[in-house]
Amino acid sequence: MTDSLFGELPVRDLAGFTPAARLSDLQRGKMKRVDLNGVSILLAVLDSANGPAANLAGVEVVAFTSICPHALGDLSYGSLSNGEVDCPDHGYRFNARTGACIFPKQGPRLQTYPVRVLSDGTVMVKVERPAWMSSGA
C-alpha cells in the first residue's frame, strides 16, 4: 500500500511516524487496511471528532491492528459504527479510539497506534515492528 503511494520505501519522520494513506482515500465510517513495518493495520475516519486521535479540520482518524486480540479474527471484515469495531468471528466489540474491549467486559485490549494528519492530507501512523518480527530475535 505505502509502496505505491510514497515510493519504494516509506519515509519515517523523526518521531517514527510513517505515511500510511491520504486523507482523501479514507471514507467516514469505513475501515481501510494498510501494511506498515510488517504490521497489518486498519485506518478509519470516525463519525465524531471528540477523541484523542488525530484531527484536522474536524476529521478524526484512528489506527488499530487488523487482528482481533481474542481469537485472531480479521477485523477488516467486521463493522465500524459509533467509534466501535465489531469482530465478525465471535462478536467482540472494541473502542476504536482507545482499544478498550466493550463486549465482553474485561476482554482483551485492541492494539491502537498514534496517528497524525498533516496539513497536506497525509495520514501518518507510528507503528513499531514487533520484537518477534525482528531479525536475530
Q: Does domain 2-128 have CATH number 3.90.1150.10?
A: no
3-state SS string over 51-79?
Answer: CCCEEECCEEEEEEECECCCCCCEHHHCE
Number of other residues whose CB lies within 10 A of the CB of residue 87: 24
Backbone angles phi, psi at 75, to 5 degrees: -70, -15
pLDDT digits (tens, 9 = 90+) for 78-116: 999 999 999 999 999 999 999 999 999 999 999 999 999
Query: What pLDDT, on the 0 to 100 scale, is given for residue 137?
Result: 47
Decide which of 76 and 137 is more confident: 76
Query: What pLDDT, on the 0 to 100 scale, is given for residue 55?
Result: 58
pLDDT digits (tens, 9 = 90+) for 27-74: 988 999 999 988 999 999 986 555 555 555 667 999 999 999 999 999
Query: What pLDDT, on the 0 to 100 scale, is given for residue 53?
Result: 54
- CA dihedral in degrees (124, 71, 31, 114; nearest 10)? -20
pLDDT digits (tens, 9 = 90+) for 9-39: 457 676 889 999 999 999 988 999 999 988 9
Q: Which three cell numbers stand for residue 120?
A: 497536506
Query: What pLDDT, on the 0 to 100 scale, is given for residue 56?
Result: 58
Decide which of 50 and 7 is more confident: 50
Query: What pLDDT, on the 0 to 100 scale, is given for residue 94?
Result: 98
Q: How far is CA 72 from the centre of its chain?
A: 16
Query: What pLDDT, on the 0 to 100 scale, is given for residue 67?
Result: 96
Answer yes or no: are the C-beta atoms of 125 and 114 closer than 8 Å. Answer: yes
